[in-house]
Chains A and B, each alone.
Chain A
């Protein structure tokens, strides 16, 4: 019972009548009780609702059901669930209760998955450490003096700490993959348009994408099966035939062509992380993969373009939080303008304000061409880089992050230093392509290292295949954080 932690394992136990859904949910709620004081993954735990759902699941267990039926999961606090307070870990949305489900929430609900709670995050998904949450900090289960990464830090930490079986996060510039890497779990950012964004509180609409955080690649494929698909409510979701991603779970990858991005192994990469990646390349060679060198020459501009585009979109997306209709409103104000100013000054945290100001500036008349338009041109170049790279390979292999989890407070005073944490993940969002982070070892202090596998647009099957084969050949995904 201690060792069960994946969707497929729980399904086996249920099938053999070794456990009930209620027991499963209870086990995870107990675990939350035990370790939440150390990890602080959640902004809200829904104990009663979860137990009730689990009992219902037991009553219906004989009926045909999905793989995630009765499985407890965590939902990032920027994804709406009807009737459940959704704040994006921001003071400004305090008390906002959406009267609707995000499309992913409603899909998981229909499949019978049980939400245990809303997970902590950097405010409005802006950050790489969860230190920007207005609610609390989340701590890395592998070392609670360190950050879990961000912005989906709560979603990664709760999976790593066995508080849930899986979770959903959102990834705008690395917000699923970077915390997955820091917490030693699997995190997938799907192709832009594969998963509906309806009900995901927007940060940067052209980059945001919801994805799963899981214990292993099989679970990742299972959850993806349940959240992917066209949605009429999201104009940017793509009409495409449904795929069963579990069919790509094959240990055989002989002949697969893996590209090594030369720019991603140079300056700024922690030597231990580099070493683990080199070992991973050896594993793939053993499996019969072929390696090619590729170049993404424009990726050095990716971070700059990203902060222009994402901040510009955020400045517009976050303008609606004005204290008029819902959420926080400043107590004292003189007139309408004063109400706006005070509400937004008091309601948003520093990082969010920084990005709103940056984005507003980038879109201002007279600066638009120099910043926003230029950034869009860089975006085109970066896409072309990836298109070129994928002419000679199926997937790209790189580190997910330049380092392992850093200390709490280590980078919070220096935003630029913090931004560098996303240097390998950001280009993927800019190009709108999929990437997965999987555990590929540990550094000397025992902190997990993540490997990023990037695919072409709608090439989830390639990266799932490559990730699964690696996982089968290694046992990093079986290691548990001691808490």
Chain B
């Protein structure tokens, strides 16, 4: 029996504001425990929250970028529950009137495209962190209390782990592009909850769903979906009922386990927070945010394809992250050769970034340096192979390509008379290859060129060498 997997995501993203959502404390990650707190984010008796305007702006940005309707009137609500990482015993969130609703995002899966509905985006505060210490018991670090979040809730529109992953990656790129979040997943800036059910193919009604919380890598997201869908199908095949429950994914064990069932679920007793006033946005305000929104990935992609004739594949890869797109654009600006810039970034540079797990902004050289490197190739100052060596040096030292070429004397030999002498010498020394070549064995030219490159340590202009060999063939 074939099954269909139905997936909806809830994505929590920490906003990249300097200060917290209701007080002036810093949101910087990694500070010493409880050093970024004040009476307000600690929820001490008598204090009051004041909504950070930047948080509203960032949420609106995210809403516009995901084609949502922006609410002219929304409000903050309290979600009540007891937990030691939540000093007020309620989280300030948005319940029935979120700031953004009814959006959509298109994802591209190569063979097909698909539109995923966004149910809503709302703003809320993050909770603190509990540190379980064998010696001193459980300690609370309240630095994260009050760090602003948006929660993006999707429709149950995804049907595979691949679709969910592609969507999640797209959201990450949108949030990075709009500078709403730094999306540093290892720091918890982007976290996923998965709602998943399975049903027999063609069925009209969804099955009972489970929720898996706090997946913080794309890999965990994919694996959790694969595991959970298999588990549900297995249960159904055995004639068991799926229990509506919250499950926790253990990435190390690669399995999920039940946290609590629906019956044990919290009643959060949401109600409007009387300490805060409604968020009322004017047409002008929304237009203004819209006008200042950075260029979105799909707009960039279309431009790349039209202006620079890049393939859709290349354009997709280059626009997947804002950092790469900007690096690419600056490179093109410096060399005016989009195709080469694309090839270098997607080829050699990506390989190094992957190998060293670096971001493109963490490399030692600037995009202008890459542009110069490409210029050196295009002006025949160096060959493509030498350029790879230069690039390697650039990664290591951050030096400008020209100075590397000069220092290491890597400039290409373009002197015809000098090369001609070398070519004649090599042809003399390898009569068999010359014979073969004359006899029509084109491959033999490669050997001869190789000999020249070896002698010149790769600096000879391979095109010229080729040409010289052919020109002088009849002399032998």
Residues of A near any B CB (own CB < 8 A): 78-80, 86, 88, 93, 96, 98-100, 102, 197-202, 204-206, 232-236, 312-313, 315-316, 319-320, 322, 324-326, 336, 340, 360, 363-365, 368, 372
Contacts and interface: CB of A to CB of B under 8 A. Distances in A.
Contacts of B87: 320, 324-325
B39 interface: yes
Contact of B39 (A98, A235, A312, A372): A98
Contact of B46 (A199, A313, A336): A199
Contacts of B273: 205
Given A235-B50, A336-B84, A320 B45 contact: yes
Interface in B251-293: 267, 269-271, 273-277
Contact of A198 (B48, B78, B80, B277): B48
Nearest to B268: A365
Given A99-B39, A206-B274, A199 B82 contact: no
B190 to A, nearest CB: 29
A198 B23 CA distance: 13
Given A102-B46, A197-B48, A235 B267 contact: no
Given A201-B45, A319-B89, A365-B269, A233 B50 contact: yes
B317 interface: no
B121 to A, nearest CB: 22
B276 A235 contact: yes
Given A99-B39, A316-B80, A236 B45 contact: no
Contact of B89 (A102, A197, A320): A320
B138 to A, nearest CB: 9
B211 to A, nearest CB: 18
8 contacts: A98-B46, A99-B44, A201-B45, A315-B269, A320-B88, A324-B140, A363-B270, A365-B267
B39 A316 contact: no
Contacts of A197: 48
Contact of B271 (A100, A234, A235, A372): A372
B269 A364 contact: yes
A86 B39 contact: no
Contacts of A319: 80, 82, 88-90
Given A322-B82, A324-B84, A100 B269 contact: no
Nearest to A87: B45
A364 B267 contact: yes
B223 to A, nearest CB: 31
A233 B46 CA distance: 11
Contacts of B80: 315-316, 319, 363
A317 to B, nearest CB: 9
Interface in B153-185: none
Contacts of A325: 42, 87
Nearest to B23: A233
Contacts of B140: 324
A205 B277 CA distance: 12
B45 A198 contact: no
B462 interface: no
Contacts of A326: 44
A270 B51 CA distance: 47
Given A205-B274, A363-B269, A234 B48 contact: yes
Given A199-B46, A320-B45, A322-B82, A235 B277 contact: yes
A313 B50 contact: no
Contacts of A233: 48, 50
A235 B51 contact: yes
B450 interface: no
A360 B269 contact: yes
Contacts of B277: 235-236
A397 B82 CA distance: 45
Nearest to A360: B269
Contact of A316 (B49, B267, B269): B269
A341 to B, nearest CB: 10
Contact of A100 (B39, B43, B78, B89): B39
B131 interface: no
Nearest to A363: B269
A367 to B, nearest CB: 10
A197 B277 CA distance: 14
Contacts of A100: 39, 44, 47
A313 B269 contact: no
Contacts of B271: 312-313, 316, 363, 368, 372
Nearest to B81: A319
The 7 A-B pairs with the shortest beta carbon distances in the complex, nearest first, are: A319-B89, A206-B274, A363-B269, A205-B274, A201-B45, A199-B46, A201-B46
A19 to B, nearest CB: 35
B47 A198 contact: yes
| Candidate in B45, B78, B269, B271 with the most chain A CB atoms within 10 angstroms | B45
Nearest to B277: A235
Contacts of A202: 45-46, 275
Contacts of B46: 78-80, 86, 98, 102, 198-202
B464 to A, nearest CB: 73
A319 B140 CA distance: 18
B81 to A, nearest CB: 9
Given A236-B275, A320-B87, A98 B44 contact: yes
B45 A80 contact: yes
B24 to A, nearest CB: 11
Contacts of B269: 315-316, 360, 363-365, 368
B43 A320 contact: yes
Nearest to A323: B84
Given A360-B269, A363-B269, A316 B48 contact: no
Interface string B29-49: 000000000010011111111
A360 B89 CA distance: 13
B189 to A, nearest CB: 26
A316 B42 contact: no
Nearest to A361: B269
Interface string B207-230: 000000000000000000000000
A93 B45 CA distance: 9
A251 to B, nearest CB: 39
A93 B44 CA distance: 11
Contacts of B267: 364-365
Given A316-B78, A364-B267, 15 more contacts: A78-B46, A198-B48, A199-B47, A201-B46, A205-B273, A205-B274, A235-B276, A313-B274, A316-B80, A319-B89, A319-B90, A320-B87, A325-B87, A363-B80, A363-B270
B228 to A, nearest CB: 27
Interface in B296-315: none
